[in-house]
Structure 1
């Protein structure tokens, strides 16, 4: 395995990570919905919604950051095409499938970071255009503190302001006693929403957010679970006998994670420092996040606090540039 260095953004404290991740998420939302992060362009599009439906108006076609001709340092492109006079001549409006922001999240400390960063900035969020999925789930009742969906519901979804809500796709709670059936059922949800009548090899999330545990597992993909890390075809996998936490789980597969338009790791705390060093300096060990760094090269970002980088000495950290709201003083 070759060494692939992703974008790494480091902040002095937890709140700085939360602020930057919130901007990153909202910028990915805007890029997906409007093909730009420029607030003025977004307001123009919102004031003329017919342009979104016109094949000759403002293009809102999503571009993967790795192929965008105008990629910013944050992995978010900033690109709008205006059809101008041609749009005036072409009065026929072509109905298109509604553009939606498809995001997958994992649980744990990531939920707390999203709570801290997103909830104070709901004025920038178009919740009703979000489709939220889970990168993994522990097969426990939703009221359990170990449930990713349950935690996200309590700390984020139940606190969304107003009547406009996201679509949320979670496991069937009635299937938690059968991890194979739960994984198959969740994969069917993905197929219905991403494939529909088309034949697609893999779903493409606009943004996939992951944490990284001290043992190196991401989502519910664990080190030394070689068969799962080598899986090439399945979208969703059952997990048995997980070495930490609830034993039975489901998880998105490595190919699905690597196929996302943007893959973002969010890690904080000194307890993560040893594993972060291994991930960045010893990719040949084949930890799940190292596999993703390589498989999604050019589309991976890491948002970490300084404590998580405590054991790394030879690494280039980037300054995060805020695109969707003013940079808070705490983020510097």
Structure 2
């Protein structure tokens, strides 16, 4: 067993997971948009676990394709822009605070439904200040039910009351490149470089929150166990995935270093079919499953939200989630 044990929040049913995850997301949002992000007294990076020691160019619709980002942005030029920013005036700093954005990465699968159930009924989601990226994408047309962006658009983005909450900026792959995984991956990496050029580090992007599911075979995003060399990639931000073991054959995925560099990494898992793989992840980390690697690599910043079915016969210590950002209109009064 690893000594790096993530916080595991268990719920008797799916609805409880959705409500807690929504609160966790809003807490991450509020922390990221605060005057001094990640330095809020009594707060921390994991959200909902303060007492448990976890460390602290858009189109009109807000949907942004990779082809709309600068095609020739480099890490070197990004670095130069950061070095030249030390002389900003106080007014410029205040403007930066005012323009602060919440940067989040989403995977697909059942996670989209969890967010649909939990977030859309809340009134404290500042959608207009969100920059949304995808942890991975299946290289299929957006209209396909297999498309992470397409599904998220239909189930979440299209249902946001933008007149009231504003429009999120959504950064997806260039659909015209889905026949070339390598080119598509390279292009999406340029999107990330542009989006994170002014953040804390240009070596790796730093998301405020990285949301992941976990499939019954143990893959996260589109990083599969014992498949190709993607789990060992330590330079690229985005990698192509070809001939995937199941599902759409060609994909792209953000890499393990990018995931682990995030302020928060959160897994959302539900259903009895996930119990065997969760048991291996939590009890046999030496097996090297992608989630186990993240548990170690992002130690102290990882939280799992699971229903009881997914923890069947799994030996872990369950935690009770404390609501930190109760939204009166969503029916939650907090704990």
Is contact 2:107-2:135 (8 Å) kept? yes
Q: What TM-score, normalized to structure 2?
A: 0.81
Q: 1:193 to 1:316 in 2, by over 3 A?
A: same
Kindly indicate whether residue 285 of structure 2 is the aligned counterpart of residue 317 of structure 1: no
The aligned counterpart of 1:93 is 91
Using the TM superposition, give the Cα deviation of residue 61 of structure 1 relative to its aligned residue in structure 2, in angstroms.
3.6
CA RMSD after TM alignment: 2.6
SS in 2 for 1:93: helix
Q: Deviations over 1:79-120 (max 9, x none)?
A: xxxxxxxxxxxx963444321000000001000000000001
The aligned counterpart of 2:162 is 162
Structure 1 Cα separation of the partners of residues 136 and 312 of structure 2:
28
Q: 1:303 to 1:67 in 2, by over 3 A?
A: closer
Using the TM superposition, give the Cα deviation of residue 214 of structure 1 relative to its aligned residue in structure 2, in angstroms.
0.1
Structure 1: any 5+ residue segments left out of the alignment? 35-58, 78-90
Q: 1:328 to 1:276 in 2, by over 3 A?
A: farther
Is contact 2:21-2:115 (8 Å) kept? yes
Q: Deviations over 1:167-211 (max 9, x none)?
A: 000000000000000000000000011015997110000000000
Is contact 2:8-2:319 (8 Å) kept? yes
Is contact 1:27-1:76 (8 Å) kept? no
Q: 1:67 to 1:303 in 2, by over 3 A?
A: closer
Which region of structure 1 is more displaced relative to structure 2, 322-331 or 93-102?
Answer: 322-331
The aligned counterpart of 2:190 is 188
Using the TM superposition, give the Cα deviation of residue 162 of structure 1 relative to its aligned residue in structure 2, in angstroms.
2.8
The aligned counterpart of 2:86 is none
Is contact 1:31-1:62 (8 Å) kept? yes
The aligned counterpart of 1:292 is 294
Q: 1:182 to 1:160 in 2, by over 3 A?
A: same
5 Å-filtered alignment, 1:175-254, equals 175-196=177-198, 200-225=202-227, 227-254=229-256
SS in 2 for 1:120: coil
The aligned counterpart of 1:88 is none
Using the TM superposition, give the Cα deviation of residue 62 of structure 1 relative to its aligned residue in structure 2, in angstroms.
3.9
Q: What TM-score, normalized to structure 1?
A: 0.82
Using the TM superposition, give the Cα deviation of residue 300 of structure 1 relative to its aligned residue in structure 2, in angstroms.
0.2
Structure 2 Cα separation of the partners of residues 67 and 211 of structure 1:
16
Is contact 1:15-1:331 (8 Å) kept? no
The aligned counterpart of 1:60 is 36
Structure 1 Cα separation of the partners of residues 334 and 276 of structure 2:
24
SS in 2 for 1:264: strand
Using the TM superposition, give the Cα deviation of residue 72 of structure 1 relative to its aligned residue in structure 2, in angstroms.
4.5
The aligned counterpart of 2:269 is 267
Q: Deviations over 1:113-139 (max 9, x none)?
A: 000000011x10111100000000000
Count of matched residue pairs: 292
SS in 2 for 1:17: helix
SS in 1 for 2:112: helix
Structure 1 Cα separation of the partners of residues 11 and 106 of structure 2:
21
The aligned counterpart of 1:110 is 111
Using the TM superposition, give the Cα deviation of residue 258 of structure 1 relative to its aligned residue in structure 2, in angstroms.
0.3
Q: 1:329 to 1:200 in 2, by over 3 A?
A: closer
Which region of structure 1 is more displaced relative to structure 2, 225-234 or 107-116?
Answer: 225-234
SS in 2 for 1:241: coil
Using the TM superposition, give the Cα deviation of residue 315 of structure 1 relative to its aligned residue in structure 2, in angstroms.
1.5
Is contact 1:8-1:304 (8 Å) kept? yes
Is contact 1:24-1:74 (8 Å) kept? no
Structure 2 Cα separation of the partners of residues 8 and 197 of structure 1:
29
The aligned counterpart of 1:44 is none
